[in-house]
Chain A
Amino acid sequence: MDLAPILNGFAVVLEPTNLLYCFLGVVIGMLIGVLPGLGPAATIAVLLPLTFGLEPVTAIIMLAGIFYGAQYGGTITSVLLRLPGEASSVVTVFDGYALAAKGKAGTALGIAAIGSFVGGTVSIVALSLVAPLVAGFALDFGPPEYTALALLGILLVSTVSSGDRVKAVIAAAVGLLLAVVGRDSFTGAERFTFGNLDLADGLDFVPIAMGLFGLGEILYNLEERHRAAQAPSKVANVWPSREDLRQSSGAIGRGSVIGFVLGLLPGGGAVLSSLAAYAIEKRRSKTPERFGKGAVEGVAAPETANNAAATSSFIPLLSLGIPANATMAVIFGALLIQGVTPGPQLVSQEPELFWGVVNSMYIGNILLLILSIPLVGVFVRILRVRATILAPITVLITLVGVYTVRNSVFDIFLVIVFGALGYLMKKLGFDPGPLVLAFVLGALLENNLRRSLLLFDGDPAGFLTRPISGTLFFVFLLVALLPLIQSLVNRRRAARRDAHRDTKELV
């Protein structure tokens, strides 16, 4: 393995501007993690216009910092208020809040910070080793492989996303349709523009992401009943005892591995891995009854796993060019805006960008550890800022920000329309994540599909005869049909159980 580009990457990170933006990113991430309301995808979307004037490396370093910083911050509200700041910290509520009730809030926060740091660092090391290998393997991918990969990625993200699967795939299909709007790059025909000049160049990614994630979430939160946050003003003794560390070391180790592996899978990500890590710790434990009543492992495992997953979910993006979740889709969009197309050639063609971003995560995790152990009191005080005050500020940042991208009032209207759509989607049970992800991959998918068809002289069977695209399509069918098979099996099993119960009751 060639070490020179990796060391160069550190030189990139240590440039003062990049260090500053890394710090800015993790602080913003931690803040939005602490403040319930906006998630990392929404925050990154809202801040997209801010990254336009920056170098690509600097921009992505900051946006990545927001993402993994949010995983640290989400813990604080879970432990202190029983109010998860992020979905990936929901399981931490069970044992974290129980510990806080026993007066051991500091222990819970300390263990979570240490676990997050270990999980994050293990995942970065693994990322540095795995991503170039995957990228090297994918360099030979042609249009058919990319078609299959993009389709599989979209389907996986939709099926694993929260909520109804059918609805998630519908959202993805709408995203693909929105990507069609504008002039067709092959034939020059105008598609679904309705004669509107502003639509001829297609819909821009920024207003869609800002509207669906940013405004959509704020509007959706307007209907929430606000619970008064009663944060304790002081958190004592954040350093966990040696006994606590010993007890949770196994959970931290396993959490790192689970998080890394699940983060790699499209749709896996931080939420799923935190749930899986908690479930596994509870099953392995000799004293499972302690879980839910203040077991340190119950905090250590999910917090380690969600951070490891947040880091490893960069691998599919940086090595294949396929975003693995909604946040990665926004970062994908940010890279495209910067004129960088993420894909297997990124490691070799833009080594400074690749290693700069990867290595910045070491620095970011160290900064977060410093921020979250000694400075936890500062963030606890921030809990008193009310969502009602933040909402109008975020709305203004969105409206002004989207205007500054192209100096276009049309874009302000566009972001409002997508804000309304985002609200309606959440209200009606559609996850907006798959829509944004499919939109961002839409053009790539269509181009590769049409180039493949040219390659095969119009015979779709060509996809199945190539080994890699054939395998990917087979997995695609498996994932698509699995829910159907599962529900059939479940129904049969339920019928048999009912029959069983009936005979027993007769006896």
Chain B
Amino acid sequence: MSSAHNGSSHPADPGGHAAAGAPPAEEPEAPGTLHELEEVLHHIEEEDRPPHAGPLANVLVALAVIVLGAAALIGSWRLGVGSPAAPQAGMWPFLISVVLLLLGLALLPLARRTADVERFTRTSWLVLAGLATMVVFAVVIPYIGFEIPAALLTFAWLRLLGREGWRLSVIASLAVVIAFYLIFVVALSVPIPHLF
């Protein structure tokens, strides 16, 4: 019964606390307050995502921000800061770097509590593979034009990253290249390097 007492003695409490303490026989209700709705939204967004990382990852993130802030601080100091009356090129980046550094330090004590860093799992290799296809595309496009790398990129994304069937992957990648050729080269005559 203590939950009911608690609920009535603190009218300012969001409904969530009272509902959490309510007897389990009651049906779960749709969330009502703004705060609860935001949490549900967060939950729905994370449903299909990899699990959270531990505090160590949070500390590493904070350290990365601190290092970035410190590097920018040194860089802008070298540009010359000047005085408020006669600011030099480094003044503005110097101010931002200080803020960045302080915020990075502020992340450190929060490392135990935050749970918004995702763990890198085996699926993260897919992302690296995806990035690799793009880099290859950018490297070879000045030499052999966009057609072959575009077809290969589409095929790799469909077959390897998307696990589509062989036939669909081959047909779709050819169709995409033909469509791109017609739109960018024939219709818009964009000066993109092309073979044909």
Instruction: Name A residues whose Cβ lies closer than 8 Å to a Cβ of B.
Output: 84, 87, 90-91, 93-95, 162-164, 166-167, 169-170, 173-174, 176-177, 180, 184, 186-187, 189, 191-192, 215, 218-220, 222-227, 271, 275-276, 278-279, 282-283, 288-289, 291-293, 298, 386, 388-389, 391-393, 395-396, 399-400, 403-404, 407, 409, 412-413, 416, 419-420, 423, 427-429, 446, 449-450, 453, 457-460, 497, 500-501, 504-505
A22 to B177, CA, bound (A): 28
Are the C-beta atoms of A93 and B32 separated by less than 8 Å? no
Nearest-CB residue, chain A, relative to B42 = A162
B93 on interface, CB distance cutoff 8 Å = yes
A104 to B33, CA, bound (A): 26
User: Which residues of B are found within 8 Å of A400, using beta-carbon distances?
Assistant: 146, 150, 180, 184, 190, 192
Are the C-beta atoms of A409 and B142 separated by less than 8 Å? yes
Are the C-beta atoms of B37 and A223 separated by less than 8 Å? no
A404 to B124, CA, bound (A): 30
- The verdict on A180 contacting B30 (CB below 8 Å), with A416-B138, A420-B131 known, is no
Are the C-beta atoms of B158 and A453 separated by less than 8 Å? no
* Chain A nearest CB, measured from B67 CB (Å): 13
Contact of A191 among B83, B93, B126, B138 (CB under 8 A): B93
Are the C-beta atoms of A225 and B48 separated by less than 8 Å? yes
Interface residues of B in 64-102 (CB under 8 A from A): 65, 68, 72, 75-76, 79-80, 83-93, 96-97, 99-100
A164 to B65, CA, bound (A): 14
Q: A391-B157, A395-B134 are in contact. List 18 more A-B contacts (CB 8 A).
A: A90-B40, A90-B45, A164-B110, A167-B107, A186-B87, A215-B134, A218-B130, A222-B130, A224-B49, A275-B34, A289-B29, A292-B29, A388-B163, A392-B153, A396-B154, A416-B131, A428-B116, A458-B83
User: Which residues of B are found within 8 Å of A298, using beta-carbon distances?
Assistant: 30
User: Which residues of A are found within 8 Å of B195, using beta-carbon distances?
Assistant: none
A506 to B123, CA, bound (A): 52
Interface residues of B in 103-154 (CB under 8 A from A): 103-104, 106-107, 110, 114, 116-118, 120-121, 123-124, 126-127, 130-131, 134-135, 137-138, 141-142, 146, 150, 153-154
User: Which residues of B are found within 8 Å of A166, using beta-carbon distances?
Assistant: 103, 106-107, 110
- The verdict on A388 contacting B49 (CB below 8 Å), with A173-B103, A427-B117 known, is no
B33-46 interface bits toward A, Cβ cutoff 8 Å, 1 = contact, 0 = none? 11001101110110
* Chain B nearest CB, measured from A294 CB (Å): 10
Nearest-CB residue, chain B, relative to A459 = B84
User: Which residues of A are found within 8 Å of B87, using beta-carbon distances?
Assistant: 186, 450, 453, 458
Are the C-beta atoms of B34 and A288 separated by less than 8 Å? no
A-B Cβ contacts below 8 A, count? 214
Contact of B41 among A87, A180, A388 (CB under 8 A): A87
Number of B residues contacting the other chain (C-beta, 8 Å)? 87
B50 on interface, CB distance cutoff 8 Å = yes
A244 to B91, CA, bound (A): 61
- The verdict on A180 contacting B96 (CB below 8 Å), with A170-B65, A224-B48, A389-B158 known, is yes
User: Which residues of B are found within 8 Å of A164, using beta-carbon distances?
Assistant: 110, 114, 116
Contact of A187 among B75, B88, B120, B121 (CB under 8 A): B88
Nearest-CB residue, chain A, relative to B107 = A166
B48-63 interface bits toward A, Cβ cutoff 8 Å, 1 = contact, 0 = none? 1110000001000100
A420 to B9, CA, bound (A): 51
B19 on interface, CB distance cutoff 8 Å = no
Nearest-CB residue, chain B, relative to A186 = B89
User: Which residues of B are found within 8 Å of A275, using beta-carbon distances?
Assistant: 34, 37-38, 41
User: Which residues of B are found within 8 Å of A429, using beta-carbon distances?
Assistant: 61, 114, 116-118
Contact of B32 among A174, A279, A391, A457 (CB under 8 A): A279
B2 on interface, CB distance cutoff 8 Å = yes
Nearest-CB residue, chain A, relative to B158 = A392
Nearest-CB residue, chain B, relative to A53 = B188
User: Which residues of A are found within 8 Å of B174, using beta-carbon distances?
Assistant: none
A29 to B31, CA, bound (A): 29
* Chain A nearest CB, measured from B140 CB (Å): 10
A497 to B86, CA, bound (A): 54
A395 to B133, CA, bound (A): 10
User: Which residues of B are found within 8 Å of A412, using beta-carbon distances?
Assistant: 137-138, 141
User: Which residues of A are found within 8 Å of B40, using beta-carbon distances?
Assistant: 90
A288 to B10, CA, bound (A): 21
Nearest-CB residue, chain B, relative to A298 = B30
User: Which residues of B are found within 8 Å of A180, using beta-carbon distances?
Assistant: 92-93, 96
Are the C-beta atoms of B190 and A396 separated by less than 8 Å? no
Interface residues of B in 146-196 (CB under 8 A from A): 146, 150, 153-154, 156-158, 161-164, 172-173, 176, 180, 184, 190-192
A429 to B119, CA, bound (A): 11
Are the C-beta atoms of B134 and A174 separated by less than 8 Å? no
Nearest-CB residue, chain B, relative to A410 = B138
Are the C-beta atoms of A163 and B41 separated by less than 8 Å? no
User: Which residues of A are found within 8 Å of B163, using beta-carbon distances?
Assistant: 388
**Can you report 29 A-B residue pairs in the complex whose CB atoms are below 8 A from each other?**
A90-B45, A164-B110, A164-B116, A166-B103, A166-B107, A166-B110, A170-B103, A173-B103, A177-B93, A177-B96, A189-B79, A189-B88, A220-B127, A223-B121, A224-B49, A275-B41, A279-B34, A282-B30, A298-B30, A391-B161, A393-B154, A395-B130, A395-B153, A413-B135, A416-B134, A423-B127, A450-B91, A457-B85, A458-B83
